Structure 1
Amino acid sequence: MALVLRNKVTYLDSSGDLRLQVGPEKENYVVCSKTMERTSAVWKKMLNGGFAESKPLNPESEWIVTLPEDKHEPMLIVLNITHSRFSLVPEKLAPLDLYDILVLAEKYDITELTRPWARHWFNGVRKTKSPLLMWIAWALGDATMFVVTADMLVMRCTVDTDGRLVTPKGWHLDDTRFDALRPHDIIDRIAALRLHLLEDILKPINEILSRLKESTYGCCLLCTMTMLGALVICAANSGLDPIPRSGSEFQGSVMQLVEKLDKLRVVFAHEDKKNVNPLPTAKKVIQEAIKNKEETVPKFYLDRLVKQSKKIGLLE
């Protein structure tokens, strides 16, 4: 049966006894209170715990519960699920829509109710490369996607002038709009690993610069001056002017720094000195630093993700 609209009121149950006013817009949804109570212990306590949301004592008063902090569109999908209106549950969702639904599911402790759709929804957003995939993976227990997305953010996040991490999509990783499904310290961990990698990547380049400036590279002075000048000019042409001395001086991403350093070249005053080119070794050290970086996601996170996956059914 299709949804029934009466004066901008959406009836999830034609005999519903409870009106929900959702979001700042106060979208009106009439629902069955017993259905709400059966599907969620949170709703049961809310509607029967003597709170403002409890049923009015006066039988002639309409029972209205206001939920101003909830978004009305994902709430409608959640209510369609709880009221067994499965034909109205979308088969595909954008990452932000899926995130919003999972926020409500977590808030009202009904994430398990998404089980019939969770795998299909998630498969539909896997290839979007949205940073939100990490929060979605956390809610649904997809350890692989959580790790992949966290690693991507370590490698591709930049920082703004305030030192806040900025995702490849252009929004702040610590945006409070996305606090609901975020592990409490994952942002600090991503920031620390990013900075540590930048330091490791810059170290061999700065060691080369120091040795050239001190004329201790085992070449004649002319070769040393030529190599140093070529290196500095090449770095400037790549957008590194000057070459950062520490990771905190670089606001770009790890990948951006690697790409810039990969363009570095040196020039030799004497052809027979090309075998002392220090850059191949430095670039090998950089690749090893990336390959052997510390794990972004600690084991206790992975354990929690596995438990959540079994609960939701993603491992089946």
Structure 2
Amino acid sequence: MSHKAVSLDRYGDTQLRIGFDHSEEPVVFTACSRALSRSSSIFRSMLYGETVGNEPGIISRRENQIIDVHHDTLVPMTTLLCIIHSKFDQVPPALSVDELYDLVVVARKYDMMTALRPWTAKWTKILGTNTQSTQEEITKALWIYWELGQRDAFYLTARRLTVESRAPVNSCPDGLRTPPGIAEHIASLRLQTIQSLIQVFREMIQKLLVVDEQPRWCRHAAWLGPHRCESMILGSLTFCLWRAGLWPLPDAVHVKDSILDLYTKLKTVVIHDIGQATEDPRRNHQDCNPRQYLSEAVEQVMNRIPNGRIECCDDHFQDWANDIAKKNETSSESQ
């Protein structure tokens, strides 16, 4: 099969063939074996063997051998190889979430995450700025932050994924990488939040259905008096919920909307009241309208969604920081 040849090092002694299993034309890169081995424990093992250690004079390979990396796509591998061969002018200054995700996948595979560090702040800066991101793109951004050890951005993105995900939460394409346990955490938190939002209105309806055995919702209610006030509010409320597709009030497990979509519907519910009583102008039933009460209760539910630490993820970020410190120490000693 024909291929394109690219030289990364004029004195290169190793060839990497990329794209063999993909639709693009394969490319053979002439690379420096020492640059590869310094940057990647995986390539070091491939080139020099597991037992060679750090002895620079021991080489257990053939000169100019071709290493096939069949399963890796060309663009992210090219970027990674340019970085470790100091071809910095060929490193893209900006990447889309899809491009950065693919690059991180390859860097993670070859244990080359530290090679990305000089660019990660710039590359990840734009990830959270797109308010129209799809669920798949947000999930990719979440995994990028996870792998790059960006704790604060990870937690903010996890919250965004929680409030913007529609059911089912794990509906992204097969093979999309996600941090362990995070999908279950988000699905559980989404269900709890939706249940709490619906419960606000369920309890309000129960208050409106109270007869004379308990205190009534109407502020001007009299013992055995008319229920026109509650009836007006109840009818208005159920009509608006019906128009929003929420009547009868569903169980949380049957809600397909995202938390954000449900929140928007509930915040826009219009509730009418009978206003000022004609028989007694001092009785203004606008005071009985639960619009403000419901709005504040819904806001309280939303404010309880955590945007900080997630217990199942804390250990990972601490381990990541420790690993980076260890690699920096090893790098300093080798120099």
* Fold match by TM threshold 0.5: yes
Relative to 1, partners in 2 of residues 1:266 and 1:47: Cα closer, same or farther, differing over 3 Å?
same
Partner Cα separation in structure 2 for residue 201 and residue 33 of structure 1: 59
Relative to 1, partners in 2 of residues 1:222 and 1:68: Cα closer, same or farther, differing over 3 Å?
same
Match of 2:163 in 1: 155
SS at match of 1:127: coil
Match of 1:47 in 2: 47
Uncovered stretches (5+) of structure 2, i.e. residues with no partner: 51-59, 219-225, 277-283, 326-335
Match of 1:202 in 2: 198
Match of 1:192 in 2: 188
Q: Say yes or no: does 1:228 pair with 2:229.
A: no
Relative to 1, partners in 2 of residues 1:230 and 1:49: Cα closer, same or farther, differing over 3 Å?
same
Match of 1:169 in 2: none
Partner Cα separation in structure 2 for residue 188 and residue 292 of structure 1: 18
Partner Cα separation in structure 2 for residue 117 and residue 263 of structure 1: 43
Partner Cα separation in structure 1 for residue 176 and residue 170 of structure 2: 14
Relative to 1, partners in 2 of residues 1:266 and 1:120: Cα closer, same or farther, differing over 3 Å?
closer
What is the root-mean-square deviation of aligned Cα atoms in Å?
A: 2.8
Higher relative contact order (CA 8 A, sep 6+): 1
Identity of aligned residues (%): 25
- 1:101 pairs, out of 96, 100, 103, with 103
Relative to 1, partners in 2 of residues 1:165 and 1:281: Cα closer, same or farther, differing over 3 Å?
farther
Verify the 8 A CA contact 2:3 2:28 in the aligned structure 1.
Answer: no
Verify the 8 A CA contact 2:162 2:259 in the aligned structure 1.
Answer: yes
Verify the 8 A CA contact 1:158 1:165 in the aligned structure 2.
Answer: no
SS at match of 1:78: helix
Residue deviations 1:225-274 (CA, integer Å, cap 9, x gap): 3222211212233x224243322121111111111111223333463333
**Which is further off, 30-39 or 150-159?**
30-39
**Which is further off, 129-138 or 93-102?**
129-138
Uncovered stretches (5+) of structure 1, i.e. residues with no partner: 1-5, 167-171
Match of 1:273 in 2: 285
Partner Cα separation in structure 2 for residue 69 and residue 18 of structure 1: 19
Verify the 8 A CA contact 2:37 2:43 in the aligned structure 1.
Answer: yes
Verify the 8 A CA contact 1:137 1:146 in the aligned structure 2.
Answer: yes
Residue deviations 1:25-51 (CA, integer Å, cap 9, x gap): 33322222232122211111123338x
Partner Cα separation in structure 1 for residue 143 and residue 254 of structure 2: 29
| Rg larger for | 2
Relative to 1, partners in 2 of residues 1:236 and 1:29: Cα closer, same or farther, differing over 3 Å?
same
Partner Cα separation in structure 2 for residue 243 and residue 9 of structure 1: 66
Relative to 1, partners in 2 of residues 1:40 and 1:241: Cα closer, same or farther, differing over 3 Å?
closer
